[in-house]
Amino acid sequence: MASGVKPRVKVPKTAAVGEAVTIKTLISHPMESGQRKDKDGNTIPRSIINRFTCDFNGENVLDVKMEPAISTNPFFEFEATVPEAGEFKFTWYDDDGSVYEETKTITIG
């Protein structure tokens, strides 16, 4: 069970119709690779965020599969075209079964 996990998202509050906005996301997570050993030589079990998705009004925008080589506190920056006002939903899936969610609304202005 990873501790201190906290998702963060930065999305502009407004956009023009059809505008591509820059979205930044970060989740604080140790991303333990499963390759390391502790002081006694025992393998530290893998514990990573293995998938990240972004949906807009129910439609999938981004779906990322993540592997153990990804460093701690994974950060994603991407552009998304905003066709209408609505809600971005971000979801992170942890190896331990936890699911972290964050939503941001965006208006047309």
Partner 1 sequence: MRRITSALMATLITTTGAFAEPVDDTLILNEETEMVMRTAAPEHLSEVMDEVMSGWLFRGTETRAMQSDDFDNPGMIFVEQAQEVWNVADGTEGKSCASCHNDMDSMAGVKATYPKWNEAAGEVRTLQMQVNDCRTERMGAEAWKYDSGVAINMEAALASVSRGMPVNVAIDGPAQSAWELGKELYYTRTGQLELSCANCHEDNYGMMIRADHLSQGQINGFPVYRLKNTKLNGSHSRFKGCIRDTRAETYSAGSPEFVALELYVASRGNGLSVEGPSIRN
Can you give the binding site for partner 1, defined by CB under 8 A? 4, 6, 8, 10, 24, 26, 28, 71-73, 75
Q: By the 8 A CB rule, do 94 and 55 touch?
A: no
CB of 108 to partner 1, least distance (A): 23
Q: By the 8 A CB rule, do 54 and 61 touch?
A: yes
CB of 92 to partner 1, least distance (A): 15
Please, which residue, 4 or 97, has the CB nearer to partner 1? 4
CB of 28 to partner 1, least distance (A): 5
CB of 58 to partner 1, least distance (A): 26
Q: By the 8 A CB rule, do 72 and 30 touch?
A: yes
Please, which residue, 68 or 83, has the CB nearer to partner 1? 68
Distance, in Å, from the CA atom of 16 to the CA atom of 4, rounded to the nearest integer, reads 36
CB atoms within 10 A of CB 99: 9
Distance, in Å, from the CA atom of 46 to the CA atom of 69, rounded to the nearest integer, reads 11
Please, which residue, 44 or 75, has the CB nearer to partner 1? 75
